[in-house]
Each structure stands twice: as C-alpha cells, then as structure tokens.
Amino acid sequence: MCTTGGEAVPQSEPLIRFNRTTTAHIPADVTLTLTLEQRTRCRLRVMLDDGREAGLFLPRGTVLNHGDGLIAEDGLVARIIAAPEHLSRVESADPLLLARACYHLGNRHVPLQIEPGRLSYRQDQVLDEMVRGLGLEVRLVDAGFEPEAGAYGGQGADHSGHVHEH
C-alpha cells in the first residue's frame, strides 16, 4: 500500500516529476534503484541512478515492481530496479517442505517472495532458526525483493482491512 510519510517533495522546487507508470517495455532514459519500502511510496524524493534528483507523485496504492517504467511530466522514462536487500533464501526440490515453510512464515505475516523451488524473506535470525527446524537450509543473500502481493493486494506491511484471530 502506498504511503505518503517521509520525504515529501515541495512543489516549488524544479525537480523531475514522475507521475505515471507503465509496464510496457519502452526504452528507458535512466534507471531508478529502490528498495521494496521505497517502491510502495507514492510521494517520495529520489535520486536517479545518474545522480539527478526527482520526485515521485504517483496515485495512491501504486506499487512499483522491478522492470516497471516511470514517465515524467517532461516525457523522461525511468526503469525501476529492485535494490538489493538482506534476504534469507531457502531452496528445495521438495515442494512439501517449501509449503510447510510458507505456511509457518505466512502465519507470522512475513512477506515472502515465492519462486519455483525457492522462497525468500527479509533476513531475521529467529525466522531462520524456525525454517532450519523444519529441515531446510537457509542461505543469506543480497538481492532484489519482490514478495507476493497477497490475497488483499498489499505487500505484507499494512494489515488495514485484514482482521482475524490467531
């Protein structure tokens, strides 16, 4: 879910203003590397990878994914790159073991990136020990993080509208 807290960009400052997104593969003029948290913000001052300052002025609820494009008011196109983050990665050819890990991590509302034969989550020693206790090996990696959006369309950080008892 898009948040507006943090670094709001003053409208009086002449910055590159990105206000539209695209998933179409159009040639990019520049790249913009952002963490998952930054990719969920709709108002944010950013530094393009070429060193220029810019501002994101996106509709509420916008979530940027690796490879998405941003289009500025002046027509400049930026391609989003998922910044490397400290992740724990589990790989297994046993789908039952991976399903069990997903169940236990999901029960703790941990955002998960699920791919064939592996899953990744933000590195956490307690969670790593739990997953090892299930019989899986955990490797620490620095990689882009794109967790499942979830049944309610969020990125796992905001539970508004999501209420249940455990």
Domains belonging to the chain, first-starting first, are 16-82 (2.60.260.20), 85-143 (3.30.70.790)
In the predicted model, what is the mean pLDDT of residues 138-164? 67
Residues pairing with 47 in the sheet: 53
Burial label, 101 (beta-carbon count in 10 A; 0-12, 13-18, 19+): buried
pLDDT digits (tens, 9 = 90+) for 91-116: 999 999 999 999 999 999 999 999 99
pLDDT digits (tens, 9 = 90+) for 126-149: 999 999 999 999 999 999 999 998
pLDDT at 152 over 60: no
pLDDT digits (tens, 9 = 90+) for 2-61: 555 555 544 454 689 999 999 888 899 999 999 999 999 999 999 999 999 999 999 999
Is the entire prediction scored with pTM above 0.85? no
62-67 contacts: CB < 8 A, separation 24 or more?
Answer: 62/2, 62/21, 63/1, 63/2, 63/39, 63/149, 63/155, 64/21, 64/34, 64/39, 64/40, 65/39, 65/146, 66/144, 66/146, 67/23
Contact 34, 79 (CB under 8 A): no
pLDDT at 79 over 60: yes
